[in-house]
Amino acid sequence: MSNRTTVTDFLLLGFSEVRELQILHSVVFLGIYLAALVGNLLVTILVVVDHHLHTPMYFFLMNLSIQDLGSISVTVPKSMDNSLLNTRSISYSGCVAQVFLFIFFAVVDFAFLTIMAYDRYIAICQPLHYETIMNRGACVQMAASAWISGIPVSTMQTGNIFALPFCGGNKVDQFFCEIPQLLKITCNDSYLSEVVITSFFFFLGLSCFAFIIVSYVQIFKAVLRIPSEQGRHKAFSTGFPHLIVVSLFVL
């Protein structure tokens, strides 16, 4: 009990103590961030402006772009700021916000990838019912559900982590408030907590991935039953954007 201290801030892992390398790190991360910012904004603007892209697939892709922009904004700007100011500090509330938002955007990402797989399944396997099932109202409800689903999960997981007392210092061996590194400096045995949290996200990811795999197995079966080569090519091309997104996420 005497070793427990009240933590008011955390010290993140710096990339280097050399000032020139810190500036180089900031420049590199700024380039990555700006590329992600421009790319995701372009996708969002194109989907909003171009009426030909007002389809469920591109609507969900737009939401995924917004999610991706939010996800990268959780960690990269703070890391650049620390390098430029030659500091490693992040406030307790800032660390809580990072963990909350990191989990939130991760859950939302899983949700949208799963929804997009379902959308492609309906488009290819049940094309005659596509407009009825994937109508505007249904798409909005699915998107809203995806965004809302991240709130209770991130609230619960963040609350469980920061309810633990910290007595192992305040140094986090990562450039952002990574959950496993935070658990290492808690007073409790971090192994059990880490197993519980890892198991939860593993089950969540595995469930979504299994749904995506099953959907595409059905899609490929439907495509192979199409008699004409042109028809098979057209059907496959409708699911190609989602396959690229899923592949990038897995890699």
Whole-angstrom distance, CA of residue 238 vs CA of residue 240: 6
Q: Which residues of 79-91 are buried (b: 16+ CB within 10 A; e: fewer)?
A: bbebbeeeebebe
Closest CA to 66 of 36, 110, 30: 36
What's the distance, CA 179 to chain centroid?
15
Domain ranges of the chain: 9-250
Task: Tell me what percent of the residues of the chain surpass a pLDDT of 90.
Answer: 32
In this prediction, residue 245 carries a pLDDT of 67
Please give the CATH topology (third level) of the domain spanning 9-250: Rhopdopsin 7-helix transmembrane proteins (1.20.1070)
Q: What is the pTM of this model?
A: 0.86
pLDDT band at 250 (very low <50, low <70, confident <90, very high): low
**Chain length of the chain:** 251
**Segment 8-54, tens digit of pLDDT:** 889 888 777 777 888 888 888 899 999 999 999 998 999 999 988 88
DSSP assignment of 157-177 equals HHHHHHTS-B-S-SEESSSS-
Whole-angstrom distance, CA of residue 204 vs CA of residue 210: 10
More confident residue, 173 or 107: 107
